[in-house]
Amino acid sequence: MKKVLFATTALIATASVAAAEVKFSGYGRFGIGYLQDRSDTNDNIDDTILISRFRLNIDGLAETDGGVEFSARVRLQADEDAGTGEAGTASLSGARFSAIYGGLRVDAGNVSGAIDNLANYYGNEPGLEFFIGQYAGVDYEFLSFQSTSAGANAVFFQYAVGDFAFGASYDQNSELNGNAALSGADSWDLSATYTFNNITAALAYGQTDASGGGSDPSLLVLTLGADFGDFNGTLFVADDSDTPDNDNGEETDGTAWGFSLAYNLGAATTLLAAYGDGSADGDTQQYGIGFVQDLGGGVSLKGAVGRETVGDASGQTRADFGVNFNF
């Protein structure tokens, strides 16, 4: 999905750089969200609640006379509390620092890793809240940018040349899933991407080296994406091993698979669909359909309906509808 960001900039003159600026960008969304049996967890909440998000990216940018770009980003974000149905307060993220020159990019601090940056990992996600994904069957927790907390203090490298791109990330003190055996463990990801004509293929591998001497969780993932004008589709397959059991004590190791589709009905309407599942007893299955209606000016109507099932638990129907506007 294309996101048009209209940035407000403040120019700052300095003697040591060729150009420097501060940019503000982001989006807002609000609407209604339905989750089957949500009220079972709290007598004071309904199955249908008001959902919302405000996200503001604050970027400081500078460029040397030699053409090296430096930037730093923090994010301010506020979401509703899905557990209580009440509004949430805004929180500030940890900082991400970047240096870019030609096809090389280096990020440090609160970064997204090589898997999180992998082409077509997320595919086309239906819903105002993007609550259906082809990746649903994956249980490995990888390095990603944290919008409302400090996040990791890690590094990410990416180099693009011609039709190829290569990525790598490393987190020296990872804390995954709140699992004591993985607290303080080293985590790393590697990726490679190749684009030919209208098709993009991407492969990534990630591993967390358990500090307690136990098994090392890992994830191998392959994605394919194809763009045929008004039609866009993605395929997803992954294998995670030695991941912790889910909250119900069910096994989560195994193969995950999924797909997503997007089709433009005319100039302003897009239909979306996605499906994700896995072979393990504790894997999550998701499927659903949605739409995006472009109203112009960075404003769109979004909505979806779908279903999610975790392991042997009873499935829940979920739906949302609302407005998204970029700024």
Could you list the residue range(s) of the whole structural domain that residue 129 is in? 30-52+110-326
The answer as to whether 60 is a domain residue is: no
The answer for residues whose C-beta is within 8 angstroms of residue 231's C-beta and 6 or more apart is 261, 262, 263, 264
Evaluate whether 277 touches 283 at the Cβ level (below 8 Å). Answer: yes
The answer as to whether 242 is a domain residue is: yes
The answer as to whether 262 is a domain residue is: yes
The answer as to whether 34 is a domain residue is: yes
The answer as to whether 160 is a domain residue is: yes
pTM as predicted? 0.89
The answer as to whether 57 is a domain residue is: no
Number of domains in the chain: 1
Query: Which CATH number fits the domain that encloses residue 161?
Result: 2.40.160.10
Q: Which pLDDT tens digits describe the chain residue by residue (327 residues)?
A: 433 333 333 333 333 445 579 999 999 999 999 999 888 877 788 999 999 999 999 999 999 999 999 999 999 999 999 888 888 899 999 999 999 999 999 999 999 999 999 999 999 999 999 999 999 999 999 999 999 999 999 999 999 999 999 999 999 876 654 444 455 678 999 999 999 999 999 999 999 987 666 678 999 999 999 999 999 999 999 999 988 888 778 889 999 999 999 999 988 999 999 999 999 999 999 999 999 999 999 999 999 999 999 988 889 999 999 999 999
The answer as to whether 315 is a domain residue is: yes
Q: How far apart are the C-alpha atoms of 117 and 289, rounded to whole Å? A: 24
Rg (CA), the chain: 20
Instruction: Specify the long-range contacts of residues 84-87, CB closer than 8 Å, at least 24 apart.
Output: 84/42, 84/44, 84/45, 85/42, 85/44, 85/45, 85/46, 85/49, 85/50, 87/52
The answer as to whether 243 is a domain residue is: yes
